[in-house]
Structure 1
Amino acid sequence: FVSEFFAYYEDSEFSRWIIENGYKILYAPRSRLYHQHSATSSERSPLWNLLVNRSRNIYKYNGDYNELYNTNNHFEEYFKPDVPEVVYQELKSFSYNLKNRLQEDNDIVEKLKPIAIYNSYWNTKGGGESHALSFAKVLQKYETVYLISEEDFSIEELEKYYGIDLSNCRKLIETHMTSRFTKKFDIFINSTYQSNLVSKAKKSYYIVYFPQKNINEEVLKSYTFLYMNNYTKDWGFKYWGEEHQWDIVYPLGMLHTPDSEEIALNKKDKIILSVGRFFVGGHSKRQDVIAKAYKELCIENNFEMEGWKLVLIGSLDYSYTEHVKYVEKIKHILENTNYEIIVNSPRDVLNEYFRQAAIYIHASGFGTDAELEPEKIEHFGITPIEGMQHGCYPIVYDKGGPRETLEEVGIGSFFHTKEDLKNKILEQVQVDSDTDNQTSKKIIDSIENFITKNHPDNKVQELI
């Protein structure tokens, strides 16, 4: 709000703020509000005239700060003999501060000044939103963090879903995001997938989940781009060139660190696990491919697959018919096999399956031409890392972020075709339990080293 109001027009300003931020003003005819008229100053008195005219000018500000200052200065001097000296001095101070502020950015509404993280899709609760909230989790220790979106969302639901504390975060709904709005913040972090919003904040950062082919030159100049790994960075360089500010911040800040010693002692069950949102199109997690490979193995290698179970866990938005039908398709594929599909699972249930599972599979990007449609390949892949934290043996599609991670960690298997996937699964189900336990310990140690080396918290702190 405009802090230089002294009295009057605050209710008008508040009403305008409500409308501009996407909220509604409702009339409640049965409510009763008692207002003492002219309690601040007597109506038509010199003080009343000064305050009302001064605040009206601020409320109607048209962009000419010299005109505003000179007009209000005229009223202040005209009524000076008839108002208390302390009020006169306070108003002069307010007007002087307002002029200086408007000379700097010419925005009548004072900057909020802390940190903003903009995301159009908080409600999807996906991996991108998790990565963005890892910034909020760290930065809220130093300043209030505003979580911004065009549509309403619940911070409480985000806290519950991701299991984090966002007590120093505030929700801000801006139905029409503009560059002018970003000027309100000292630090503006754009975490909206493939956004073309130009930032005017003092410091601006853009989280790159995957770069769009064409980007506005003004957008490219207004941010430091934070890639998630070398895979996204290499495509950014290919599409945008190398002449822009950039860094790599791995999306590891929201990982829940399990007790590695307890997990190492835990005997794995005959469970093949895959975790990911159920949806079609884009970089779908391709649970259907995993289901087909598993079904064929159960038929062709019945003896080896005896006692094994496939578990698919992921969020599902029931408002999208095509996504619901996709889950039904997977169930149909898996008929007459030992399987379980868990939708919108609580975190503790997911963690329990991570602890139990011996094999973790990630198939996002399967069947996609990685050169023609690289955006459909898994950009990073956090769930294979979570699986490895719990000692699961990872089998991932051989393109994109998961391959890069496994190559750096130095453990796990890749597949390119469905037959490859079946062979990799079969190799692991035939491993004896002693070897399996030794491998789990090695996986846990390797992924812990990877996380320690690439953990983002220190880099996020450097943003402020």
Structure 2
Amino acid sequence: MKAGIYDPYLDTLGGGERYMMTVADCLNKNGYQVDVFWKDESIKRKIKERLNIKVERINFTPETFNSSGYDLIFFLSDGSIPFLTAKRNILHFQVPFHGVDGRKLLNRIKLRRINHVVCNSFFTKKFIDQEYGVNSKVIYPPVAVDSFKPLKKENLIIFVGRFTDLLHNKRQDILIEIFKKMKIKDWKLMIVGGDEEGKRYVADLKKKARGFPIEIITNPRFNDLKHFYGQAKIFWTAAGFGVDEEKEPEKTEHFGITTVEAMSAGCVPVVIKKGGQPEIVSEGRNGLLWTSEEELREKTLRIINNQSEWLKLSKAAQKKANDFSEKRFCQELRRLTE
């Protein structure tokens, strides 16, 4: 059997790319010969270093995307609907597109060739179903939860996510400003992520952080990332801050893979109550949710000053993270493709 994978954003090496490359790996393990359509085979080395996904048995082809001749196509949409001609066709959405004329006649015709529409969260699903008139399935992203373990914890708050000041801005600037105002004695903030889309943004963040116990790390290897998570006590997010998520859902965190990674390493998530984050974190059970700067400061200080609450939430976070394992993902994908 032959499967093809298409991801137009593969070189960003973010959470969405982990999703797509895990699809490739799972299909390969299920007996498929897998082709990934990408122009530069050097991406294989970067996938191994940054995402820790083995792609040695996956073929990366520079050919222009063509779905004919395949038993299965798994296609990541950029908002458009492709015309797919494989025996089975799966269309995947990771962004809650809206206002793109999704129900126009041509799209309805193309969707007749699609066997399944898959979203990465119920948050994304709500907007995709409304926009395109479909009933999509949700398969939560795969997280390598077994790769992350708590180490000797330090007084460290961490955020992990790509650097960009474009559509998917993670609002690292807000986290830096809030941390500076808090003036927490003997604590450090670490901001980590890929900078392929945001080198100027990183330079600006470094200026904002100058003179404070704030470290900004770009393009870490996977082993380094594991170490950072293992040391940190608290995980922050702010994507979607100041945004009306009903009007601009694309500016939120649509799921939150790095939140789950951090939880599996024993970090307590204190994350913004936007997008897909509430599907991962339950208030007071396995983490904390915030909606204002004041609430983020208050809840962070609360667990800093209450070791027993931090420990309870840390253990619960590790347990919850297992719900998003790669094993679970491959099982759900297999049921979809059988």
Normalised TM-score (structure 2): 0.90
Query: Does the 8 Å contact 1:409/1:446 carry over to 2?
Result: no
Letter in 2 for 1:146: D
| TM superposition shift of 1:159 | 2.5
1:116 aligns with 2:4: yes
Whether the 8 Å CA contact 1:120–1:151 is kept in 2: the answer is no
**Paired residue for 1:347?**
222
Question: Following superposition of structure 1 onto structure 2, how do residues 31-430 of structure 1 map, counting pairs within 5 Å?
Answer: 114-141=2-29, 142-149=31-38, 154-175=43-64, 177=65, 181-213=66-98, 214-215=101-102, 216-223=107-114, 224-242=116-134, 244=135, 246-252=136-142, 254-258=143-147, 263=150, 266-298=151-183, 305-317=184-196, 323-407=198-282, 410-430=285-305
Amino acid at match of 2:45: E
For this pair of structures, how many residues does the alignment match? 329
Query: Residues 225, 408 of structure 1: CA spacing in aligned structure 2 closer, same or farther, 3 A cutoff?
Result: farther
Deviation of 1:452 (Å): 5.8
Aligned partners of 1:410, 1:283: CA distance in 2, in Å?
28
Q: What's the % identity of the aligned pairs?
A: 27
1:30 maps to none
Shift of 1:324: 2.1
Q: Secondary structure at the match of 1:174?
A: coil
| Pairing partner for 1:441 from 315, 324, 329 | 315
Given that 2:144 and 2:326 are in contact with CA atoms closer than 8 Å, whether structure 1 keeps it comes out as: no
Displacement after TM superposition at 1:163 (Å): 1.4
The 5-angstrom pairing of residues 444-463 of structure 1 reads 444-448=318-322, 450-451=323-324, 455-462=328-335, 463=337
Task: Tell me by how many angstroms 1:132 deviates.
Answer: 0.4
Question: Which runs of no fewer than 5 residues in structure 1 stay unpaired?
Answer: 1-112, 299-304
Work out which of the two has the higher radius of gyration on C-alpha atoms and give 1 or 2.
1
SS at match of 2:195: coil
Residues 409 and 447 of structure 1 are in contact (CA less than 8 Å); yes or no, is this contact kept in structure 2? no
TM-score, structure 1 as length reference: 0.67
CA 1:388–1:152: 2 relative to 1, 3 Å: same
Gaps of 5+ in 2: none
Q: Distance in 2 between matches of 1:350 and 1:282?
A: 25
Distance across 2 between alignment mates of 1:161 and 1:430: 34
Q: Distance in 1 between matches of 2:181 and 2:73?
A: 50
Structure 2: how far apart are the matches of 1:150 and 1:192?
A: 18
In the TM superposition, residue 152 of structure 1 has moved relative to its aligned partner by 6.2
Measured after TM superposition, the shift of residue 256 of structure 1 is: 4.2
Higher relative contact order (CA 8 A, sep 6+): 2
- Aligned with 2:204: secondary structure? helix
Cα RMSD, aligned residues only: 2.2
The whole-number CA distance in structure 2 between the counterparts of 1:409 and 1:218 is 46
Matched residue type, 1:337? F
Distance 2:246 2:305 in 1: 35
